[in-house]
Amino acid sequence: MLSLYTFILLIFGLAVVLDAKSSSGNSVLVILDPARRPDYSIFFDGLQEKGYDLTFRAPKDETPVLIQDDIPSFAHVVFFESDTKHFAKDITPQTLVELLSGKTNLLIALSQKQNLLTSFAPEFSLILPPPGSSLLSYFPERKENNSVVPIEVPSSSNIISAGTAPVWFSGVPFVLGNNPLIFPILNAPAESFAADAEGITPDALADAAEKGGEGLWAGSQLAVAAGFQTLGNARVAWLGGVELFSNEFAKKEISKGVKSGNQQAAADIAAWTFQESLVLRIDSTTHHLVNTSVPKEHYTINDVVEYIAQISRFNPNKGKWEPYSGINDLQLEFTMLDPHIRTALPPVPGSPGKYAVTLRVPDRHGVFKFVINHKRKGWTYLQSSTTVPVVPPRHDGYPRFLSAAWPYYAGAISTSLGFFVFSALYLAGDARETNLRKAKGAKAQ
Protein backbone atom coordinates (compact mmCIF):
# COMPACT_ATOMS: atom_id res chain seq x y z
CA MET A 1 0.00 0.00 0.00
CA LEU A 2 2.79 2.31 0.97
CA SER A 3 4.63 1.55 -2.22
CA LEU A 4 1.51 2.31 -4.24
CA TYR A 5 1.23 5.60 -2.45
CA THR A 6 4.85 6.51 -3.15
CA PHE A 7 4.37 5.42 -6.73
CA ILE A 8 1.41 7.77 -7.13
CA LEU A 9 3.43 10.54 -5.53
CA LEU A 10 6.28 9.81 -7.91
CA ILE A 11 4.00 9.92 -10.94
CA PHE A 12 2.48 13.13 -9.69
CA GLY A 13 5.92 14.61 -9.11
CA LEU A 14 7.04 13.60 -12.57
CA ALA A 15 3.94 15.09 -14.07
CA VAL A 16 4.69 18.34 -12.29
CA VAL A 17 8.24 18.32 -13.61
CA LEU A 18 7.10 17.59 -17.16
CA ASP A 19 4.31 20.14 -17.07
CA ALA A 20 6.33 22.66 -15.40
CA LYS A 21 6.87 25.42 -17.86
CA SER A 22 4.07 27.82 -17.21
CA SER A 23 2.62 28.73 -13.86
CA SER A 24 -0.89 28.72 -15.27
CA GLY A 25 -1.19 25.72 -17.62
CA ASN A 26 0.26 24.20 -20.75
CA SER A 27 -2.58 24.08 -23.22
CA VAL A 28 -2.13 26.55 -26.05
CA LEU A 29 -4.52 27.25 -28.87
CA VAL A 30 -2.93 28.71 -31.99
CA ILE A 31 -5.29 30.41 -34.40
CA LEU A 32 -3.48 30.18 -37.72
CA ASP A 33 -4.03 29.03 -41.25
CA PRO A 34 -2.51 25.50 -41.48
CA ALA A 35 -0.76 26.48 -44.69
CA ARG A 36 1.30 29.09 -42.87
CA ARG A 37 2.20 26.89 -39.92
CA PRO A 38 5.65 25.91 -41.26
CA ASP A 39 6.61 29.61 -41.43
CA TYR A 40 6.70 29.76 -37.63
CA SER A 41 7.98 26.27 -36.92
CA ILE A 42 11.02 27.46 -34.94
CA PHE A 43 8.78 29.31 -32.51
CA PHE A 44 6.25 26.50 -32.21
CA ASP A 45 8.94 23.84 -31.84
CA GLY A 46 10.48 25.94 -29.09
CA LEU A 47 7.16 26.01 -27.25
CA GLN A 48 6.66 22.28 -27.68
CA GLU A 49 10.14 21.58 -26.38
CA LYS A 50 9.31 23.53 -23.26
CA GLY A 51 6.36 21.21 -22.72
CA TYR A 52 3.48 23.19 -24.14
CA ASP A 53 0.61 21.37 -25.66
CA LEU A 54 -0.19 23.13 -28.95
CA THR A 55 -3.56 22.88 -30.65
CA PHE A 56 -3.96 24.50 -34.06
CA ARG A 57 -7.14 25.93 -35.39
CA ALA A 58 -7.77 27.57 -38.74
CA PRO A 59 -9.57 30.92 -38.41
CA LYS A 60 -12.77 29.61 -39.94
CA ASP A 61 -12.86 26.27 -38.15
CA GLU A 62 -15.72 25.90 -35.70
CA THR A 63 -13.77 23.73 -33.28
CA PRO A 64 -12.12 23.57 -30.85
CA VAL A 65 -14.11 26.37 -29.28
CA LEU A 66 -12.43 29.00 -27.15
CA ILE A 67 -14.94 28.81 -24.32
CA GLN A 68 -16.84 25.68 -23.44
CA ASP A 69 -19.66 25.99 -20.91
CA ASP A 70 -18.34 29.37 -19.78
CA ILE A 71 -14.96 27.87 -18.97
CA PRO A 72 -12.00 28.79 -21.19
CA SER A 73 -10.79 25.64 -22.93
CA PHE A 74 -7.14 26.71 -23.14
CA ALA A 75 -4.68 28.33 -20.79
CA HIS A 76 -3.16 30.45 -23.55
CA VAL A 77 -4.32 31.60 -26.95
CA VAL A 78 -1.96 32.65 -29.73
CA PHE A 79 -3.70 34.83 -32.27
CA PHE A 80 -1.44 34.89 -35.34
CA GLU A 81 -4.06 34.88 -38.05
CA SER A 82 -4.74 38.57 -38.28
CA ASP A 83 -4.81 39.03 -42.06
CA THR A 84 -8.12 37.21 -42.22
CA LYS A 85 -11.20 39.36 -42.46
CA HIS A 86 -13.78 36.91 -41.20
CA PHE A 87 -13.47 34.46 -38.36
CA ALA A 88 -15.54 31.63 -36.99
CA LYS A 89 -18.46 32.94 -35.01
CA ASP A 90 -17.00 32.28 -31.59
CA ILE A 91 -13.92 34.38 -32.28
CA THR A 92 -15.11 37.88 -31.40
CA PRO A 93 -13.76 40.72 -29.27
CA GLN A 94 -16.31 39.77 -26.63
CA THR A 95 -15.03 36.21 -26.35
CA LEU A 96 -11.46 37.46 -26.20
CA VAL A 97 -12.39 39.72 -23.27
CA GLU A 98 -14.20 36.82 -21.66
CA LEU A 99 -11.06 34.73 -22.06
CA LEU A 100 -9.09 37.40 -20.22
CA SER A 101 -11.61 37.43 -17.38
CA GLY A 102 -11.12 33.67 -17.24
CA LYS A 103 -7.37 34.21 -16.80
CA THR A 104 -6.45 33.02 -20.26
CA ASN A 105 -3.37 34.73 -21.67
CA LEU A 106 -3.41 36.12 -25.18
CA LEU A 107 -0.59 36.63 -27.66
CA ILE A 108 -2.02 38.79 -30.41
CA ALA A 109 -0.38 39.90 -33.66
CA LEU A 110 -1.87 42.89 -35.45
CA SER A 111 -1.91 43.42 -39.18
CA GLN A 112 -2.40 46.27 -41.62
CA LYS A 113 -5.79 44.96 -42.62
CA GLN A 114 -8.95 45.89 -40.82
CA ASN A 115 -10.66 43.15 -38.88
CA LEU A 116 -11.97 42.53 -35.38
CA LEU A 117 -8.62 43.50 -33.84
CA THR A 118 -8.91 47.03 -35.19
CA SER A 119 -11.78 47.63 -32.81
CA PHE A 120 -10.43 45.38 -30.07
CA ALA A 121 -7.00 47.05 -29.72
CA PRO A 122 -8.32 50.48 -28.63
CA GLU A 123 -9.93 48.77 -25.63
CA PHE A 124 -6.38 48.20 -24.39
CA SER A 125 -5.43 51.82 -25.01
CA LEU A 126 -3.55 50.93 -28.18
CA ILE A 127 -3.89 53.65 -30.78
CA LEU A 128 -3.39 52.24 -34.24
CA PRO A 129 -2.20 54.27 -37.24
CA PRO A 130 -4.52 54.62 -40.27
CA PRO A 131 -5.22 51.30 -41.98
CA GLY A 132 -2.57 50.25 -44.48
CA SER A 133 0.28 51.92 -42.61
CA SER A 134 3.38 50.05 -41.57
CA LEU A 135 6.64 50.91 -39.87
CA LEU A 136 9.20 52.33 -42.30
CA SER A 137 12.75 53.44 -41.74
CA TYR A 138 15.55 54.50 -44.06
CA PHE A 139 18.18 53.94 -41.36
CA PRO A 140 20.48 52.16 -41.16
CA GLU A 141 21.17 51.86 -44.85
CA ARG A 142 20.50 48.29 -45.88
CA LYS A 143 19.60 46.23 -48.87
CA GLU A 144 16.26 45.10 -47.44
CA ASN A 145 12.92 46.69 -48.04
CA ASN A 146 12.35 49.86 -45.98
CA SER A 147 9.49 48.18 -44.18
CA VAL A 148 11.81 45.55 -42.64
CA VAL A 149 13.33 47.42 -39.74
CA PRO A 150 16.02 46.28 -37.29
CA ILE A 151 15.17 47.23 -33.70
CA GLU A 152 17.59 47.36 -30.78
CA VAL A 153 16.41 45.52 -27.69
CA PRO A 154 16.34 47.98 -24.75
CA SER A 155 18.91 47.03 -22.14
CA SER A 156 16.51 47.89 -19.32
CA SER A 157 13.83 45.48 -20.51
CA ASN A 158 12.97 42.87 -17.92
CA ILE A 159 10.95 40.81 -20.36
CA ILE A 160 13.42 40.22 -23.19
CA SER A 161 16.67 38.81 -21.81
CA ALA A 162 19.65 41.10 -21.70
CA GLY A 163 22.19 40.81 -24.50
CA THR A 164 19.70 39.78 -27.14
CA ALA A 165 20.80 40.87 -30.60
CA PRO A 166 18.65 43.43 -32.47
CA VAL A 167 15.47 41.98 -33.89
CA TRP A 168 13.92 42.31 -37.32
CA PHE A 169 10.48 43.77 -37.40
CA SER A 170 7.92 44.29 -40.06
CA GLY A 171 4.40 45.41 -39.37
CA VAL A 172 2.26 48.07 -37.73
CA PRO A 173 3.55 50.31 -34.95
CA PHE A 174 1.12 51.78 -32.46
CA VAL A 175 0.93 54.49 -29.84
CA LEU A 176 0.19 53.59 -26.24
CA GLY A 177 -2.56 55.58 -24.57
CA ASN A 178 -2.48 56.52 -20.93
CA ASN A 179 -3.89 53.30 -19.54
CA PRO A 180 -1.60 52.44 -16.62
CA LEU A 181 -1.87 48.71 -17.27
CA ILE A 182 -0.15 48.81 -20.66
CA PHE A 183 3.58 49.20 -21.19
CA PRO A 184 5.91 48.89 -24.19
CA ILE A 185 8.04 45.78 -24.62
CA LEU A 186 9.78 47.01 -27.78
CA ASN A 187 9.77 50.60 -28.99
CA ALA A 188 10.22 51.63 -32.60
CA PRO A 189 13.59 53.17 -33.52
CA ALA A 190 13.77 56.95 -33.22
CA GLU A 191 14.23 57.50 -36.93
CA SER A 192 11.33 55.29 -38.01
CA PHE A 193 7.80 56.35 -38.87
CA ALA A 194 4.47 54.87 -39.79
CA ALA A 195 3.18 55.39 -43.29
CA ASP A 196 1.57 53.69 -46.19
CA ALA A 197 4.50 51.89 -47.81
CA GLU A 198 3.49 52.96 -51.34
CA GLY A 199 1.92 56.30 -50.60
CA ILE A 200 4.77 58.00 -48.82
CA THR A 201 7.12 60.21 -50.80
CA PRO A 202 10.19 62.05 -49.57
CA ASP A 203 8.41 65.33 -50.34
CA ALA A 204 5.44 64.44 -48.19
CA LEU A 205 7.83 63.47 -45.41
CA ALA A 206 9.74 66.71 -45.68
CA ASP A 207 6.45 68.65 -45.56
CA ALA A 208 5.37 66.81 -42.45
CA ALA A 209 8.75 67.39 -40.82
CA GLU A 210 8.47 71.13 -41.56
CA LYS A 211 5.17 71.21 -39.75
CA GLY A 212 6.94 69.96 -36.65
CA GLY A 213 6.04 66.36 -37.29
CA GLU A 214 2.33 67.07 -37.16
CA GLY A 215 0.32 64.30 -38.70
CA LEU A 216 3.35 62.06 -38.83
CA TRP A 217 3.47 58.90 -36.77
CA ALA A 218 7.13 58.75 -35.95
CA GLY A 219 9.79 58.23 -33.37
CA SER A 220 10.57 56.07 -30.42
CA GLN A 221 7.27 56.80 -28.70
CA LEU A 222 5.76 54.29 -31.09
CA ALA A 223 5.77 50.74 -29.82
CA VAL A 224 5.95 47.59 -31.89
CA ALA A 225 5.31 45.19 -29.02
CA ALA A 226 3.39 45.97 -25.86
CA GLY A 227 2.32 44.08 -22.79
CA PHE A 228 -0.96 44.48 -20.97
CA GLN A 229 -1.77 42.83 -17.70
CA THR A 230 -5.40 42.83 -16.59
CA LEU A 231 -6.33 43.41 -12.95
CA GLY A 232 -7.01 39.69 -12.76
CA ASN A 233 -3.39 39.07 -13.81
CA ALA A 234 -4.20 37.68 -17.26
CA ARG A 235 -1.56 38.80 -19.72
CA VAL A 236 -1.91 40.09 -23.27
CA ALA A 237 1.03 40.69 -25.57
CA TRP A 238 0.34 42.89 -28.55
CA LEU A 239 2.66 42.57 -31.54
CA GLY A 240 2.76 44.96 -34.45
CA GLY A 241 3.47 42.12 -36.87
CA VAL A 242 3.53 38.36 -36.78
CA GLU A 243 6.76 38.27 -38.85
CA LEU A 244 8.70 38.95 -35.65
CA PHE A 245 8.04 35.28 -34.79
CA SER A 246 8.73 33.86 -38.26
CA ASN A 247 11.48 31.45 -39.24
CA GLU A 248 12.57 33.85 -41.93
CA PHE A 249 13.39 36.65 -39.47
CA ALA A 250 14.82 34.23 -36.92
CA LYS A 251 17.37 33.01 -39.45
CA LYS A 252 18.02 36.37 -41.04
CA GLU A 253 21.36 37.93 -40.16
CA ILE A 254 21.26 41.31 -38.47
CA SER A 255 24.75 42.08 -39.66
CA LYS A 256 27.36 39.95 -41.31
CA GLY A 257 27.72 36.76 -39.30
CA VAL A 258 25.45 37.86 -36.43
CA LYS A 259 22.11 36.13 -36.17
CA SER A 260 19.13 38.28 -35.30
CA GLY A 261 17.64 38.14 -31.82
CA ASN A 262 14.19 37.26 -33.11
CA GLN A 263 14.16 33.69 -31.86
CA GLN A 264 15.19 34.74 -28.37
CA ALA A 265 12.84 37.74 -28.30
CA ALA A 266 9.92 35.63 -29.52
CA ALA A 267 10.58 33.00 -26.87
CA ASP A 268 10.93 35.68 -24.16
CA ILE A 269 7.75 37.49 -25.16
CA ALA A 270 5.89 34.19 -25.21
CA ALA A 271 7.40 33.27 -21.84
CA TRP A 272 6.13 36.49 -20.32
CA THR A 273 2.71 36.10 -21.92
CA PHE A 274 2.36 32.49 -20.81
CA GLN A 275 3.05 33.39 -17.16
CA GLU A 276 6.56 31.97 -17.05
CA SER A 277 8.61 35.03 -16.27
CA LEU A 278 7.98 37.84 -13.78
CA VAL A 279 5.33 35.79 -12.02
CA LEU A 280 4.90 36.45 -8.31
CA ARG A 281 2.43 35.37 -5.70
CA ILE A 282 1.72 36.02 -2.06
CA ASP A 283 1.88 32.65 -0.34
CA SER A 284 0.61 33.80 3.01
CA THR A 285 0.16 36.83 5.15
CA THR A 286 -0.08 36.87 8.89
CA HIS A 287 -0.09 39.37 11.73
CA HIS A 288 0.38 39.17 15.47
CA LEU A 289 1.27 41.24 18.50
CA VAL A 290 5.02 41.65 18.91
CA ASN A 291 6.50 38.99 21.18
CA THR A 292 3.64 36.58 20.46
CA SER A 293 3.09 34.33 17.49
CA VAL A 294 -0.65 33.75 17.22
CA PRO A 295 -2.77 36.15 15.14
CA LYS A 296 -5.32 37.97 17.23
CA GLU A 297 -8.97 38.20 16.27
CA HIS A 298 -8.84 41.94 16.94
CA TYR A 299 -6.36 44.46 18.21
CA THR A 300 -6.63 47.21 20.78
CA ILE A 301 -5.73 50.78 19.89
CA ASN A 302 -2.01 51.51 20.25
CA ASP A 303 -1.04 47.83 20.17
CA VAL A 304 2.28 47.14 18.50
CA VAL A 305 1.67 44.62 15.73
CA GLU A 306 3.98 42.73 13.39
CA TYR A 307 2.80 41.97 9.84
CA ILE A 308 4.50 39.27 7.78
CA ALA A 309 4.03 38.38 4.11
CA GLN A 310 5.59 35.42 2.36
CA ILE A 311 6.17 35.98 -1.36
CA SER A 312 7.24 33.49 -4.01
CA ARG A 313 8.35 33.83 -7.59
CA PHE A 314 7.79 31.19 -10.23
CA ASN A 315 10.99 29.67 -11.55
CA PRO A 316 10.23 28.41 -15.07
CA ASN A 317 13.47 26.43 -15.31
CA LYS A 318 12.57 24.23 -12.39
CA GLY A 319 8.85 24.71 -12.69
CA LYS A 320 8.68 25.53 -9.02
CA TRP A 321 7.68 28.42 -6.83
CA GLU A 322 10.67 29.74 -4.94
CA PRO A 323 10.77 32.26 -2.10
CA TYR A 324 11.62 35.66 -3.52
CA SER A 325 13.16 38.51 -1.57
CA GLY A 326 13.91 40.79 -4.51
CA ILE A 327 11.09 43.31 -4.08
CA ASN A 328 12.47 46.47 -2.50
CA ASP A 329 9.51 48.78 -2.95
CA LEU A 330 6.75 46.75 -1.37
CA GLN A 331 4.37 48.76 0.79
CA LEU A 332 1.88 47.90 3.48
CA GLU A 333 -1.14 50.01 4.23
CA PHE A 334 -3.28 49.89 7.34
CA THR A 335 -6.50 51.39 6.16
CA MET A 336 -9.93 52.32 7.35
CA LEU A 337 -11.31 54.07 4.25
CA ASP A 338 -8.00 55.95 4.06
CA PRO A 339 -4.61 54.47 4.81
CA HIS A 340 -3.96 55.50 8.42
CA ILE A 341 -0.51 53.99 8.07
CA ARG A 342 1.45 53.46 4.85
CA THR A 343 4.84 51.97 5.41
CA ALA A 344 7.55 50.08 3.58
CA LEU A 345 7.36 46.30 3.86
CA PRO A 346 11.02 45.36 3.49
CA PRO A 347 12.40 41.87 2.95
CA VAL A 348 13.78 40.26 6.08
CA PRO A 349 17.50 39.57 5.59
CA GLY A 350 18.33 35.93 6.07
CA SER A 351 14.86 34.50 5.53
CA PRO A 352 14.08 34.19 1.82
CA GLY A 353 10.68 35.36 0.68
CA LYS A 354 9.76 36.90 4.02
CA TYR A 355 8.72 40.53 4.28
CA ALA A 356 7.93 41.94 7.69
CA VAL A 357 7.22 45.23 9.38
CA THR A 358 6.30 46.26 12.90
CA LEU A 359 3.77 49.02 13.31
CA ARG A 360 1.79 50.67 16.06
CA VAL A 361 -1.96 50.47 15.58
CA PRO A 362 -3.40 54.01 15.41
CA ASP A 363 -5.24 55.54 18.34
CA ARG A 364 -8.51 55.04 16.51
CA HIS A 365 -10.94 52.15 16.67
CA GLY A 366 -12.86 50.69 13.74
CA VAL A 367 -12.60 48.00 11.09
CA PHE A 368 -9.12 48.22 9.60
CA LYS A 369 -7.46 46.31 6.76
CA PHE A 370 -3.88 45.31 6.14
CA VAL A 371 -3.52 46.02 2.42
CA ILE A 372 -0.76 45.08 0.02
CA ASN A 373 -1.30 46.52 -3.43
CA HIS A 374 1.83 46.15 -5.51
CA LYS A 375 1.51 46.86 -9.23
CA ARG A 376 4.65 47.05 -11.30
CA LYS A 377 4.75 46.94 -15.08
CA GLY A 378 5.38 43.43 -16.32
CA TRP A 379 5.24 41.83 -12.88
CA THR A 380 2.25 39.99 -11.55
CA TYR A 381 0.19 42.35 -9.43
CA LEU A 382 0.33 41.48 -5.75
CA GLN A 383 -2.87 42.17 -3.91
CA SER A 384 -3.82 41.14 -0.43
CA SER A 385 -6.27 42.46 2.09
CA THR A 386 -6.77 41.21 5.64
CA THR A 387 -9.52 42.67 7.75
CA VAL A 388 -8.91 43.19 11.47
CA PRO A 389 -11.13 45.10 13.87
CA VAL A 390 -9.39 47.55 16.19
CA VAL A 391 -11.25 48.04 19.45
CA PRO A 392 -10.85 50.47 22.36
CA PRO A 393 -9.53 48.97 25.62
CA ARG A 394 -11.99 46.98 27.70
CA HIS A 395 -13.41 48.68 30.78
CA ASP A 396 -10.70 47.01 32.88
CA GLY A 397 -7.99 47.60 30.29
CA TYR A 398 -7.24 51.16 31.33
CA PRO A 399 -4.42 52.05 33.75
CA ARG A 400 -5.49 52.51 37.36
CA PHE A 401 -4.28 54.32 40.49
CA LEU A 402 -2.35 56.94 38.59
CA SER A 403 -0.20 59.30 40.60
CA ALA A 404 -1.76 62.26 38.79
CA ALA A 405 -5.13 61.35 40.29
CA TRP A 406 -4.04 61.35 43.94
CA PRO A 407 -5.59 64.77 44.70
CA TYR A 408 -8.94 63.37 43.57
CA TYR A 409 -8.51 60.18 45.56
CA ALA A 410 -7.49 62.22 48.59
CA GLY A 411 -10.50 64.49 48.08
CA ALA A 412 -12.93 61.58 47.95
CA ILE A 413 -11.35 59.79 50.92
CA SER A 414 -11.20 62.93 53.04
CA THR A 415 -14.88 63.62 52.28
CA SER A 416 -15.79 60.13 53.47
CA LEU A 417 -13.63 60.38 56.57
CA GLY A 418 -15.01 63.83 57.20
CA PHE A 419 -18.50 62.39 56.94
CA PHE A 420 -17.74 59.71 59.55
CA VAL A 421 -16.10 62.15 61.96
CA PHE A 422 -18.91 64.61 61.44
CA SER A 423 -21.59 61.98 62.08
CA ALA A 424 -19.81 60.74 65.19
CA LEU A 425 -19.35 64.23 66.64
CA TYR A 426 -22.92 65.16 65.69
CA LEU A 427 -24.28 62.15 67.54
CA ALA A 428 -21.98 62.82 70.48
CA GLY A 429 -23.23 66.41 70.60
CA ASP A 430 -26.80 65.09 70.42
CA ALA A 431 -26.18 62.83 73.42
CA ARG A 432 -24.56 65.64 75.34
CA GLU A 433 -27.46 67.97 74.65
CA THR A 434 -29.95 65.32 75.76
CA ASN A 435 -27.93 64.75 78.91
CA LEU A 436 -27.78 68.50 79.42
CA ARG A 437 -31.50 68.80 78.93
CA LYS A 438 -32.12 65.88 81.31
CA ALA A 439 -29.80 67.41 83.82
CA LYS A 440 -31.58 70.73 83.44
CA GLY A 441 -34.93 68.97 83.82
CA ALA A 442 -33.68 67.20 86.97
CA LYS A 443 -32.46 70.49 88.38
CA ALA A 444 -35.75 72.14 87.65
CA GLN A 445 -37.57 69.35 89.44
Partner 1 sequence: MAAPSSSSSSSPVLSLWKAYHQNTSDRLKFIDSFLIFLMISGIIQFVYCVLVTNFPFNAFLAGFSSTVGQFVLTASLRSQVNPENKGVFKDVSPERAFSDFVLGSIVLHFFVFNFLG
Minimum CB–partner distance for residue 358 and partner 1 (Å): 28
Q: Which of 12, 123, 429, 438 binds partner 1 (CB under 8 A)?
A: 429
Q: Which residues lie below 8 Å from residue 219, measured CB to CB, with a gap of 6+?
A: 188, 190, 192, 193, 213
Min separation Cβ 366 and partner 1, Å: 23
CB of 341 to partner 1, least distance (A): 26
Residue 216 CB coordination number (10 Å):
17
Residues within window 94-113 making contact with partner 1, judged by CB under 8 A: none
Tell me how far, at minimum, the Cβ of 406 lies from partner 1, in Å: 9
Rounded distance between C-alpha atoms, residue 311 and residue 295, angstroms: 19
Residue 389 or 392 having the CB closest to partner 1: 392
Query: Which window, 170-178, 185-193, 378-386, 429-437, contacts partner 1 (CB under 8 A)?
Result: 429-437
Q: Pick between residue 232 and residue 397 the one whose CB is nearest to partner 1.
A: 397
Binding to partner 1 in span 234-263, by CB under 8 A: none
Please say which residue, 232 or 411, places its beta carbon nearer to partner 1.
411
Q: How far is the CB of 431 from partner 1 (least distance, A)?
A: 12
Q: How far is the CB of 422 from partner 1 (least distance, A)?
A: 5
Nearer to partner 1, 177 or 411 (CB): 411
Q: How far is the CB of 300 from partner 1 (least distance, A)?
A: 18
Tell me the closest approach of the beta carbon of residue 403 to partner 1, in angstroms: 10
Q: Rounded to the nearest whole angstrom, what is the least distance from the CB of residue 398 to partner 1 in the complex?
A: 8
Q: At what angle do helices 41-50 and 262-273 cross, to 10 degrees?
A: 50
For partner 1, the closer CB: 204 or 402:
402
Residues whose CB falls within 8 Å of the CB of residue 384, separated by 6 or more in sequence, listed in order: 282, 285, 309, 370, 371, 372
Size of the site for partner 1 (CB under 8 A): 24
In the complex, minimum distance from the CB of residue 445 to partner 1, in angstroms, rounded to a whole number = 24
In terms of CB distance, is 15 or 405 closer to partner 1? 405
* CB-nearer residue toward partner 1: 7 or 408: 408
Separation CA 405–CA 410 (nearest Å): 9
CB of 440 to partner 1, least distance (A): 15
> Smaller CB distance to partner 1: residue 85 or 395?
395
Please enumerate in sequence order all residues whose Cβ is within 8 A of that of 299, keeping only pairs 6 or more positions apart, or say none.
289, 305, 361, 388, 389, 390, 391
Q: Which is nearer to partner 1, 199 or 399 (CB)?
A: 399
| Cβ distance to partner 1 smaller for residue 201 or 416 | 416
- Does residue number 138 form part of the binding site for partner 1 (CB under 8 A)? no
CA distances 362 to 67, 117, 333, Å, are: 48, 51, 12
Closer of 5 and 398 to partner 1 (Cβ) = 398
Contacts to partner 1 from residues 369-428, by CB under 8 A:
398, 400, 402, 404-405, 407-412, 414-416, 418-419, 422-423, 425-427
- List residues near partner 1 by CB under 8 A: 398, 400, 402, 404-405, 407-412, 414-416, 418-419, 422-423, 425-427, 429-430, 433
